[in-house]
Amino acid sequence: MRPRDAKHSVKIGVLALQGAIDPHIEKLQSLGVEPVRVRTPDQLARVSGIILPGGESTAMIHLLKVNRLWNPLKAFVQTKPAWGVCAGVILLAKEVSHPKQESLDALDISVTRNAYGRQNESFVDNVQPTDKWMDKNPVEGVFIRAPKIDRIGPGVKTLLTHRNDAVFVEQGNLLAATFHPELTTNASLHKYFVEKCLSEK
């Protein structure tokens, strides 16, 4: 049995260069975890896992390079827990289209950017658990200019779906959600990531 205060010993980063940062910080704090806003390689080196939040993927790539974080982050996500949310999914994916874009080349999926429409076509709907998810209850999904997962590699598990499309997937140390769980009251996905980070300590 893991000690009750184990969560307090783990530090989880949130990439804090651009995008929806504060809601993830608040979710982690609500789970008793110390969040770290990651803007430098030194800050990245201090965390057990990292959340790559929603935002604008092209801007994130530019800022990662300006801050000399691109190569350290690319190495980090190969072995340590990382969770891409919306734009973060695009960063993690092996293949990106509409238009094509470089990525961290870590998660064996192909994604199409903004496949669910523009900002004014954002929507909220339930996403459904597969038999690989820990809970059988639907989860609220907030979709904002979301990417769509078009291809899933053989080592990738689908945890949640929306209208038969994979929207939350896992491959080893990596998670990816095309929607925004940080904008809902449900903390189950963040809890799942925290447990993944704890298991890697």
DSSP bridge partners of 177:
85, 168
Helices (H), the chain: 22-30, 41-45, 57-66, 70-79, 87-92, 188-200
Q: Is 34 helix (H, G, I), strand (E, B) or coil?
A: strand
pLDDT for the residue 2: 44
The amino acid sitting at 157 is: K
Question: DSSP for 93-128?
Answer: EEEEETTT------EEEEEETTTT--GGG-EEEEEE
DSSP 156: P
- Structural class in CATH, domain 6-200: alpha beta
Q: Which residue out of 24, 162, 180, 190 is catalytically annotated?
A: 180
pLDDT for the residue 8: 62
pLDDT for the residue 122: 82
The amino acid sitting at 18 is: Q
Q: Which residue out of 24, 162, 170, 182 is catalytically annotated?
A: 182
Task: Compute the distance between CA of residue 84 and CA of residue 190 in angstroms, rounded to an integer.
Answer: 12
182 is catalytic: yes
Query: Two tokens at 145?
Result: 């200019």
162 is catalytic: no
pLDDT tens for the chain, 201 residues long, are: 344 455 667 999 999 999 989 999 999 999 999 999 999 999 999 999 999 999 999 999 999 999 999 999 999 999 999 999 999 999 999 999 988 999 999 999 999 987 766 666 688 999 999 999 998 999 999 998 889 999 999 999 999 999 999 999 999 999 999 999 999 999 999 999 999 999 876
Q: Which residue out of 24, 86, 170, 190 is catalytically annotated?
A: 86
Domain ranges of the chain: 6-200
180 is catalytic: yes
Q: How many C-beta atoms lie closer than 10 Å to residue 115's C-beta?
A: 17
- What's the whole-model pTM score? 0.93
Task: Compute the distance between CA of residue 55 and CA of residue 105 in angstroms, rounded to an integer.
Answer: 19
Element (H, E) at 159: strand 157-162
In sign, the C-alpha dihedral spanning 110, 77, 13, 30 is: positive
